[in-house]
Amino acid sequence: MEKIELLYEGKAKRIWRTEDENLLISEFKDDLTAFNGEMKSSEAGKGALNNQISTELFKMLANNGIQTHFIKMLDNNHMLHKACNVILIEVIVRNIATGSLSKNLGIENGTILPFTLVEFDYKNDALGDPKLNDQHALILGLVEYQDELDKLRRMARQINDILKPYFFEKGLKLVDFKLEFGKDKSGNIILIDEISPDNCRFWDIESGESLDKDRFRKGKGGLKVAYENVLNRILQH
């Protein structure tokens, strides 16, 4: 399957049209951005690591009954997937307080939440991805029905229920992560985008070290080694 035309370039991926209107190719870039594009850098090999990590996680989730857009990994930086109508809601799942939750609500960093928190952000760079409630999402027309918002929450919790123990067994705490969903050509809501250390926070159970994009956000270095560490744990069965 070949790339025919660039449809969209995001901060971490380029999306290409293919000869099949139902299929797209995502090209994973080495670029790194944080704080809505205020911090920028690049790390050779980061895109390939995220492609491989996402591939393994999409396969594992599909084996556990989660519908995703994933078809196959084409090469180091390219993934073939279904074309979907993207729902412009970032679904944030949190098991442990950190990041913007700690900053905005004053919950101490590292506090284990009494239950898994699922939040919605509006996927809109110009507005800085603001928080959404259900009424905002419906007024903006991001989905048509309340049922669809309920389904996003339900799927996000199901995915967390699979990923959290999976990573725990591999010595990592799944602190929080961001998911994106789309509608396939039959109108089914399915998981899209990627699942990688760019949009998840992983803390090593023993050392407490961050093995994710917080290394870049906090200027710590060692990003590629951290992402390789996550991939190696995923590949260990």
Residues that bind ligand 5GP (CB under 6 A): 90, 92, 99-101, 129, 176-178, 198-201, 213
Query: Is residue 196 left, alpha or beta, with left meaning phi > 0 and alpha meaning psi from -120 to 50?
Result: beta
Residue whose CB is less far from ligand 5GP, 23 or 88: 88
Least spacing, CB of residue 98 vs ligand 5GP, in Å: 6
Burial class (CB in 10 A: 0-12, 13-18, 19+), 99: middle
Phi, psi of 209 (to 5 degrees): -60, 140
- What minimum distance in Å lies between the beta carbon of 105 and ligand 5GP? 11
Least distance from ligand 5GP to the Cβ atom of residue 104, Å:
8
CA 31 distance to own-chain centroid: 16
Shortest distance (Å) from residue 186 CB to ligand 5GP:
28
Task: Tell me how far apart the alpha carbons of residues 221 and 47 are, in angstroms, rounded to a whole number.
Answer: 17
Q: Given the complex with ligand 5GP, which of 4 and 205 has the nearer CB atom?
A: 205
- Give whichever of 87 and 92 is closer to ligand 5GP, judged by the CB atom: 92
In the bound state, the residue with its beta carbon closest to ligand 5GP is: 99
CB of 95 to ligand 5GP, least distance (A): 11
Min dist. Cβ of residue 23 to ligand 5GP (A): 24
Given the complex with ligand 5GP, which of 31 and 56 has the nearer CB atom? Answer: 31
Largest Cα separation within the chain, whole Å, is: 50
Instruction: Return the number of the residue (73 or 101) whose C-beta is nearest ligand 5GP.
Output: 101
Whichever of 66 and 107 has its CB closer to ligand 5GP, that residue is: 107
